[in-house]
Amino acid sequence: MIEQLNIQMVDLKGQYNKIKDEIQTGFDEVINACAFVNGPPVKQFAKNLEHYLDVKHVIPCGNGTDALQIALMALDLQPGDEVITVPFSFVATAEVIALLGLKPVFVDVEMDSFNMDVSKLETAITDKTKAIIPVHLFGQMSNMEALMEIANRHQITVIEDNAQAIGSDFYFSDGRTQKAGTIGYIGCTSFYPSKNLGCYGDGGAMFTNDDDLAHKIRCIANHGQVQKYRSDFVGVNSRLDSFQAVILDAKLKHLDEYVVARNKAAVFYDNAFKDQESLTVPHRVSYSNHVFHQYTLNYKGDRDGLKTALKEAGIPTMVYYPVPMHLHKAYDYLGNKVGDFPVCEYLAEHVISLPMHTEFTEDQLNYIVEQVLSKA
């Protein structure tokens, strides 16, 4: 009988213990200064993230969903305009499109990378298509070089949903590299606690190299105000607080180490599972590195059975995402049906994500691997 170990999907407490002093000092400073919202730590963090990403503007906001919504609001689209995205993502991506009276149009994903199948993008483009939102799912980027070529040719704006791939690099065929979220017109990210760069509450940001757009986005996030009490745009209230910025700034210094730690765990899993008939380990594309927001297997067997057996062994797993976007009741009105996006529908029934974080011990990884191999 093997002893059960305490395994978590994400170990935020273990990570906190290593950066505790810096965070506590920063918190004291925020309280002393009483600048709780958009205070100096928010500006400092935005500067540091601009430097890290090599992008001209980082505009913090309240959460990742707001980031996507504000990005779309900045484009001045008309009701009924179409925005292309993927059906295999967190609901936020399609939700903001629908919320603004725009029409979400889906393009199926690839079986191996889980990201948009860019070879199917062009057939979804109509004269109403105004924007494309690729989602860099689980920590690996969509094929941005091919996607940008198509978008530019059709003069369509690209907004990257980078909530899961912050820190990831894209490798262009001419040898250039660029950070995820800085290739499209606007990049959006989330600092939700479980994300790779997560705070201890809600947070998000938008990235852009365009000065005028940055100004407009800043205004929209602040009630559309171009100066205090003068609104030129219909806006929203979406801001990052100073405590969250202290945490994010402390973690940003370690982000590259976190990527290494996640990749180490991923390679450990890969080596254990690569010869297991029923499991397909995550594919690595040639044009992007993987920052492993999730380690997601494609499992041929009884997924619910595996999930339950692992749970009994003390190992949490998650299914991201069990319902394809086009099959949610809320999006019935779009008229999509079962069979429209078969790859996404297949994945929704077969993917399973294992614990993935920065704080694993070798014993924990060994235990997880042993248990998965004995049950899968």
Ligand X SMILES: *Cc1c(COP(=O)(O)O)cnc(C)c1O
Instruction: Return residues touching ligand X (CB under 6 A).
Output: 63-65, 89-90, 92-93, 135, 161, 163-164, 190, 192, 202, 204
Q: Is 64 or 235 the residue whose CB approaches ligand X more closely? A: 64
Rounded to 10 degrees, the C-alpha dihedral 213/60/138/95 comes to -70
What's the CA gap between 135 and 86, in Å, rounded?
7
Q: Is 92 or 250 the residue whose CB approaches ligand X more closely? A: 92
CB nearest ligand X: which residue?
Answer: 64
Provide the minimum distance between the beta carbon of 5 and ligand X in the complex, in angstroms, as a whole number: 28
Provide the minimum distance between the beta carbon of 260 and ligand X in the complex, in angstroms, as a whole number: 22
Q: Is 194 or 276 the residue whose CB approaches ligand X more closely? A: 194
Provide the minimum distance between the beta carbon of 207 and ligand X in the complex, in angstroms, as a whole number: 15
Q: Is 135 or 266 the residue whose CB approaches ligand X more closely? A: 135
Provide the minimum distance between the beta carbon of 227 and ligand X in the complex, in angstroms, as a whole number: 28
Provide the minimum distance between the beta carbon of 165 and ligand X in the complex, in angstroms, as a whole number: 9
- The beta strands (E) that lie in 107-196 are given as 129-133, 157-161, 169-171, 177-179, 186-190
Q: Is 164 or 364 the residue whose CB approaches ligand X more closely? A: 164
Counting other chains too, the contacts that 325-331 makes at CB distance below 8 Å and 24 or more residues apart are: 325/85, 325/86, 325/87, 325/88, 325/89, 325/91, 325/93, 325/94, 325/104, 325/106, 326/87, 326/106, 328/91, 330/91, 330/95, 330/98, 331/94, 331/98, 331/104
Provide the minimum distance between the beta carbon of 104 and ligand X in the complex, in angstroms, as a whole number: 13
Q: Is 309 or 327 the residue whose CB approaches ligand X more closely? A: 327
Helical H segments across 39-192, by residue range: 40-53, 64-73, 92-99, 144-153
Provide the minimum distance between the beta carbon of 189 and ligand X in the complex, in angstroms, as a whole number: 8
Q: CB–CB of 57/208 below 8 Å? A: yes
Residue 52: CB atoms within 10 Å: 17
Q: Which helix (H) or strand (E) is 312 found in, with range?
A: helix 303-312
C-alpha closest to that of 108 among 362, 308, 335, 325: 325
Beta bridge partners of 57: 208
Q: Is 161 or 359 the residue whose CB approaches ligand X more closely? A: 161
What's the CA gap between 289 and 66, in Å, rounded?
27
Provide the minimum distance between the beta carbon of 206 and ligand X in the complex, in angstroms, as a whole number: 12
